[in-house]
Amino acid sequence: MTQMRVIRWSATSNATPFTDPASGERLGAAADALAAHGFAVEILDDAAAARSRVRELIPEGASVLTAASETLRLSGIDDDVNTGGRYRAVRPRVLAMDRTTDADEIRRPAACPDVIVGSVAAVTETGSLVVASGSGSRLPGYAGGAGRAIWVVGAQKLVPDLDTALRRVHEHCLPLETARTLRAYGRPSAVNRLLVLNGEHVAGRGSVLLLREAIGY
């Protein structure tokens, strides 16, 4: 019988600072690990370089979903996709629909766009991506529903292993995301769903753009 590893998270008093950009050496090692797991990986200087690269990676006219992401907002990628007119942007279309009467019409295009663009809560030096979500709306596209996935990841999100990644989710990301959702929607966020991407079944389907600078949270 295959044994399953149960991961238990608990707060610690010796919290790792999760805001410092990783060194170039660590980024390079993580890039090698991700590539060995089937991800396409690039190390870029900054958000401006990522913004240009995302434009190059997505063909004009593709249906594109942007996942909710401070990284995309701060970099300008969110605006490029959703207001630029170059793509068939999914998010503006689904936001205009009624969540009660049009639930299926919202769910389907969000689950299987041509391309999904977003970020992650953490990337491990062993080559895994960790995504936390309250609603789960972006997870189908990330996991395989989208024809292509692109993740833009700031250097401060690099952690040694999965246990540290889960600490980063709960200790660092969740309080910041809760502050955002309280301002925007009047309710706290929650880690209702976790997705760990350990590799890509279709080599190159998932592109990870690792930045040398910190961006987002």
8 falls within a domain: no
Residue 34 lies in a domain: yes
Residue 217 domain-assigned? Answer: no
| In a domain? residue 4 | no
Whole-number pLDDT of residue 108: 81
Structural domains of the chain, count = 1
| Residue 176 placed within a domain | yes
Task: Report whether 79 contacts 88 (CB < 8 A).
Answer: no
- In a domain, residue 146? The reply is yes
Adjacency order of strands within the sheet including 148-153 = 40-44, 206-211, 148-153, 115-118, 63-66, 88-89
Q: Considering the domain boundaries, does residue 206 fall inside one?
A: yes
DSSP secondary-structure letter at 215? -
Quote the pLDDT of residue 100. Answer: 74
127 is in which domain, residue-wise? 24-211
pLDDT at 152: 98
pLDDT tens series, the chain, 217 aa:
434 444 444 444 344 579 999 999 999 999 999 999 999 999 999 999 999 999 999 999 999 999 999 999 999 999 999 999 999 999 988 888 777 777 777 778 888 999 999 999 999 999 999 999 998 888 999 999 999 999 999 999 999 999 999 999 999 999 999 999 999 889 999 999 999 999 998 988 999 999 999 999 9
Give one DSSP letter per residue of 99-158, joined into a string.
TTTTHHHHHHHHHS-SEEEE--SEEETTS-EEEEESS-TTHHIIIIISSEEEEEE-GGGE
The CATH number linked to 96 is 3.40.50.10420
Q: Nearest-CA neighbor of 126 among 156, 153, 159, 155?
A: 159
Please report the pLDDT score of residue 203 as a whole number: 84
pLDDT in tens, 149-165: 999 999 999 999 999 99
Residue 1 confidence (pLDDT): 40
pLDDT value of position 10: 44
Instruction: Say whether 49 sits in a helix, a strand or coil.
Output: helix
Quick check: is 9 in a domain?
no
